[in-house]
Structure 1
Amino acid sequence: MTTMEFFGCTLIAFGPPFAMFCLLIAKDPIRIIIMISAAFFWLMSLLLSSILWTVVVPLKDYLSFGVTFSILFQELFRYIFYRVLRKAEPGLSKVSEVGTPSGSTSTNNRTQLAFVSGLGFGIMSGAFSVTNILADSIGPGTVGIYGDSQYFFLCSSFTTLAFILLHTLWGVIFSKACDNRNYVLIAYVLATHFIVSAITFMNQNQWYLISIPLIYTVTALTTVLAFHCAGGSIGSLKRAFSRQ
């Protein structure tokens, strides 16, 4: 039973991101490299957060302190990686043109690269968030006996999936905001990152019926905004469905 729960929760958390990777990234080596590089930059933000948490001893016991600076470092490294991508853009264009038929254009435009880098951030964030939880889910089956919620693993998986999707969407919005110097969109990314992280504090009291819907409401709103930032519209959706 615990093995079934392990695989079920793993597929909930990483099934959709894995599908996005297979469909949109796996066939392009440039995108794979960018995704891995983005994951490395997220790891660097985690390293700085860990160093700060270790050095500032008086605030170690305050979870909000660690979360606040973790978010700030993540968004800082998102911006640094954005700048790295912009510097590497000419080289990426030349590399992607190798083997491409003459007259065709590269598919690695800025929005797609922002999507790939955001997914790299999200997958690495999700891996560090839920790996230990999934390891515990495989046994022994003791969750719920000592007053814990029997839905802990399931809700943790849904929360992890939301954060992976949000990082992907934040990557698209943040890139568009930096290109256009739209500080409102940058503030939106930072604010929603803080808000969603704060919502997860409800899980300490097992308020999953409140936290999960709120997180996915923010995810839905961010999806609409990211779709708009990527150049989507109602008309483009109608045209896409009409081709089906």
Structure 2
Amino acid sequence: MTLCTFFGCLLTAYSPLLSIFFLYIAPNAQYVLLMVASAFFCLLALLLSSVIWYFAKATQSNHYISIAYSVAIKEVCRWGFYLLLSRAESGLNNISTNPKSPFNKTSFAFVSGYGYALMSALVSYISLLVESLGPGVLMCTSCPKATLFFISAITTSLFSLLHLCWMVIAFEGFYELPKVKGWSKVVWVVLSHYGASYATTLNSSTTVKYGCVYSIAICIGIIMTSIGFIMKSFKTVLTLASNRQQRATVSMTT
């Protein structure tokens, strides 16, 4: 039974990431390198958070404070990786499959988000996944009928999708700064990151019944809203691309 639990939680937590890697990222060496670079920045953010947690003895048991500076550091590293990628963007476009594609920027952001998602998922859940092999079982405090292994697997899977959306929205926001539209996207990423992170504390809540359900619902709601932001951006890019094509066609005919 413990072995079934292990593989069930493993596939629940990492199936989206594995599918994206083998179907989209692995066939492209450029995407693999970009993924590794992004994962390094995420690992750097996790390392800095761990150092602060280690030296801040008085706040080690306070998860709210830990989440506050951990999310802030991740967002700063996300911005730092954008600055690095923006300097290398022209070179990445030149060696890409479609150098003039209007979706190259979005593809680079998506792959960068994958690196963030992969590193966060591995660091946050791998130790708990190993514990699912036994001999004991950890039950979720707010949902006593569900194991903590399974609830955490669902949370890990949702946060993987969230990091993909956050990176795409954040990169678009950074690119559009200092316009109000750019600031709105950056603020949404930061606030939703805090909201989703603090929502996970409901899993261990002793006062909120079925807190794990509320936590999952909040994450799903943030994912759906983020997808709405991305779809709106896609429509804008398609409109601009079609207008450019029409102008090019008119100039060629004249």
Using the size of structure 1 for normalisation, the TM-score is 0.86
- CA distance in structure 2 between the aligned counterparts of 1:230 and 1:175, rounded to whole angstroms: 14
Distance 2:236 2:136 in 1: 46
**Does 2:143 align with 1:159?**
no
TM-superposed CA distance for 1:51, in Å, is 1.5
1:44 aligns with 2:44: yes
What is the identity, as a one-letter code, of the residue corresponding to 2:234?
A
Question: Does the 8 A contact of 1:46 with 1:74 survive in 2?
Answer: yes
Provide the C-alpha distance between the structure 1 equivalents of 2:235 and 2:46, rounded to a whole number of angstroms. 32
- Offset at 1:148? 5.7
Mark the CA change 1:232 to 1:110 in structure 2 (over 3 Å): closer, same or farther: same
- CA distance in structure 2 between the aligned counterparts of 1:149 and 1:136, rounded to whole angstroms: 18
Given the alignment of the two structures, is residue 191 of structure 1 paired with residue 191 of structure 2, yes or no? Answer: yes
Distance 1:64-1:89 versus aligned 2 partners, 3 A rule: same
Code of the aligned partner of 1:173 = I
Task: Give structure 1 stretches of 5+ with no counterpart.
Answer: 236-244
Aligned residue number for residue 213 of structure 1: 217
* Partner residue, 2:132: 137
Given that 1:2 and 1:141 are in contact with CA atoms closer than 8 Å, whether structure 2 keeps it comes out as: no
Q: Which whole-Å deviations, capped at 9, do the CAs of 1:20-64 have from their partners, x for residues lacking one?
A: 111211111010000011010000001111122222332222211
Alignment of 1:118-129 (within 5 A): 118-129=113-124
The residue type equivalent to 2:105 in the other structure is R
Do the aligned partners of residues 173 and 54 (structure 1) sit closer, same or farther apart at CA in structure 2, a change above 3 Å counting? same
- Give the AA of the match of 2:147: Y
Match of 2:234 in 1: 230
Over 3 Å counting, the alpha-carbon distance change for 1:185 and 1:194 in structure 2 is: same
1:111 and 2:106 are equivalent in the alignment:
yes
Distance 1:232 1:217 in 2: 23
Q: Percent identity?
A: 31
Q: How does 1:47-58 map to 2 (within 5 A)?
A: 47-58=47-58
Secondary structure of 1:119 counterpart? helix
Question: Is the CA contact (8 Å cut-off) linking 1:170 and 1:226 kept in structure 2?
Answer: no
Q: Distance in 2 between matches of 1:145 and 1:43?
A: 28
Say which is worse superposed, 64-73 or 46-55, in terms of deviation: 46-55
- Larger gyration radius, structure 1 or structure 2: 2
AA paired with 1:76? V
